[in-house]
């Protein structure tokens, strides 16, 4: 059995969907970097911790994932 490099209950091919980075209260710095690259937003390394804190706060407060548009707003992108 092939293992995917990410943590997921089922392979994306098994459930006929695409992989993607989601942001919320349990996100990490790598998620911020990857999502910024995906959306072509420049988030310098020294600013990622601050963006991560804002993402976690929004995700926890709203009790849901942070949308791409919200991420753009949080980064000024």
Following DSSP, what letter does each residue of 9-24 receive, concatenated?
Answer: SS-TTTTT------BS
User: DSSP 3-state assignment of 66?
Assistant: strand
* H/E stretch holding 62: helix 45-62
- Among residues 4, 51, 15, the alpha carbon closest in space to that of 31 is found at 51
Alpha helices (runs of H) in 18-44, residue ranges in sequence order: 29-38
Q: Give whole-number Cα distances, 73 to 18, 24, 47, 61, 70, in Å.
A: 24, 15, 14, 16, 5
Greater confidence (6 vs 51) lies with 51
pLDDT score at 20: 83
Query: What pLDDT digit, counting tens, does each position of 11-62 carry?
Result: 778 887 777 889 999 999 999 999 999 999 999 999 999 999 999 999 999 9
């Amino acid at each position: 059995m092939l293992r995917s490099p990410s943590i997921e209950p089922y392979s994306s091919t098994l459930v006929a969907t695409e992989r993607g980075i989601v942001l919320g209260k349990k996100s990490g710095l790598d998620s911020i970097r990857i999502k910024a690259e995906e959306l072509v937003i420049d988030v310098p390394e020294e600013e990622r911790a601050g963006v991560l804190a804002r993402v976690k706060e929004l995700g926890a407060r709203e009790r849901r994932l942070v949308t791409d548009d919200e991420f753009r707003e949080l980064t000024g992108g």
